[in-house]
Structure 1
Amino acid sequence: MTFLSADQRELFLPLIDGIHDNPPWGAFMRNLVARTYARRAFLVVVLANAPADQAPTVLHVTAPRAANEPPLDMMRLDSLRLHPHSRMRPERVYSLDEMLDYDRPEQLAHQRAVLEEMGIRYGRWLRISARGAADAWLVLAREREDFTGSAVSTMSMIAPHLAAALRTFCALAAQRLQTALAEDSLARIGVGQVAFDVAGHVMAADREAERLLTFSAGSSTTVGRKLQLLPETGRQLEAHCAALASSPEGACAALLLDERRDLWMLLRKSDLTLDGPHAAPAVIGTLRLERYENSAAAIRTIAAVHGLSAREAALAHAITLGESIVEAGRCLGLTTETSRNYSKRIYAKTGTSGQADLVRKLLNGLAPFS
């Protein structure tokens, strides 16, 4: 099949660019509706491992002549029990007749009546599979006349390209999940990070850093962003980045970013290992805020990990916040003697040799992430 420049411009390129849209592939769907003269179209994307109560991603597009009509009722369409989507052969175009239940006349009549009410007299279905990571169903509908052979050929032509785009979309979704996991853990303990190049330009910043810092004008993905700092602080940042880039591994420097907030950044020579083609950062900047975990959740975690009673865990947690054994016990309604007896049991159960050792062990454990 010959690919025209219009195919590249209107269908293939929007499939690539549209991966980053939310929801994805809006321009592709609008162009497909125009190319096939469909009245309505919708794309349903179901990701593997999604919880049962998570609604699938549904993109609904209408032709200009149907712009004022209400969107298709997906729940009603699903209730018709058309040919099971999971049993459709991937990348094969199905006609509406192939989706109907001809084995049961009453069900067939019901399906036809409801579809006509919804303005779907003619339709084409296409299933796309992303090798177990996701499934997608593309549906085009018309009301007055059936689709031409050219329209069906267009659907067949774009099927493998849509499958490749869906696989890429799933890979990016997995990467976003990995990023969210890392950012969430760091944010729970008040850590934010920024990647700098050798000139001090911001290559990337995590969610916590974006919240704490002010950046030069531009979107969060603009190449060449810089931190908005006092002129002298900005010059120091640039000098540190240049020096650390040529320093041995493990080199670091501390920089006061904001005296009013007592906000410091630790700059260290980057030792990140990245797969595939990439621009490696020269320096990683780390921020740290004084942040305390959810006390109730932390106490439950300490109790579960170390086999402590609720009172013992509460006392241990209070000690990690800087309180003495007696002060912590008093807040819990314990006498001095009882507090000291509790502390002995806590040391025994946690395998620690005293208050300082206990604080070290708990702060290096799971409780701060609770």
Structure 2
Amino acid sequence: MNELSVKNNFSLKGFNSFGLDSRALAFVSVKKEADLFALPELLDKYPRHLFLGGGSNVLLPAFFDGLVIEIDIQKFDYKESHNDVLISIGAGYNWHQLVADTVERGWGGIQNLALIPGKVGAAPIQNIGAYGTELKDVFVCLKAFFPKEGIFRCFNNEECRFGYRDSIFKNELKGKFIISEIWLRLTKSNHLIDYSYYALADYMKKKGIFKPGVKDVFEAVIFIRQSKLPDPAIIGNAGSFFKNPVVSERLFQELKSKHPGIVSFPSGQKGLIKIPAAWLIDRSGFKGKNIGQAGCYEKQPLVLINRGEARPEEIVALGGQIQKVVKEKFGILLHPEVNIIQPENYEGMIEI
């Protein structure tokens, strides 16, 4: 059996995009699938454990009293047919690098998902999405390891129960699995090009691009994201802290009568409207506001940032204040998109 090297009192500062000075009781890195079979014995020793990918969508506690397992399985294979290509990717592969690699080869399907931070293994858990595209649109299946049973299981698209930033892995199977590999089906020609979002359409118009291709959309998404989102390497953040709320048409019309300038997007679900959480947060007066070293980013209030030495409880407190004021002003509860680890640590915890 493969043995894994366990490191004690390990700093996680370089393993979370918030840049929080978090530490773990113990840490281990999984580099290949075969290493996963050594985990059951370790998990018996450390009942409290956390599977960590890129650390781009988590809020870690100051100290995690257990074992942190980094999934760093690197793999990229593909099989081409006449019209499309089936790719298999290891869970440790950087997501944006995957998008860049596929665009460079002329393949279509995930170009709208450029610059989403994190690793491939986290993508199905969140059903990541941006600018009209979601992972489920190209997802075929995945392989996951269940340490308690010591077995692998495969899940197809339907079995993953994808929803808006949601899947079975955030619910019934939370904490019970490790994704090792995923398969996506991309197009080689006749690509579905979606640039219907205003920011994308405006970019194409200004560039004089009337029939954009895969690379045009890829470059547009990068330009737009870089113009409004902070680079985690410079300003610690986990991207969108809250999900965009989906409300009934009736509630939306009520809100519109009180707030004529309210912004909305189609939700893709009959009778439901999506409202940008950033608009709600901005109109609630939080843009640029701070609690300690935690702040609400000036260019995009949906992003909470670490202004230098923020503590986890400061970020939670700011998130909780945002929830409270938005609920009072608009009657809408914002739900965190970021995975808050050990929520029981915090007083006045945000509602999840």
Higher relative contact order (CA 8 A, sep 6+): 2
Judging by fraction of residues, say which structure has more helix: 1
Q: Give the TM-score range, shorter chain.
A: under 0.3
Bigger Cα Rg:
1
Judging by fraction of residues, say which structure has more strand: 2
TM, length-normalised to structure 1: 0.21
TM, length-normalised to structure 2: 0.21
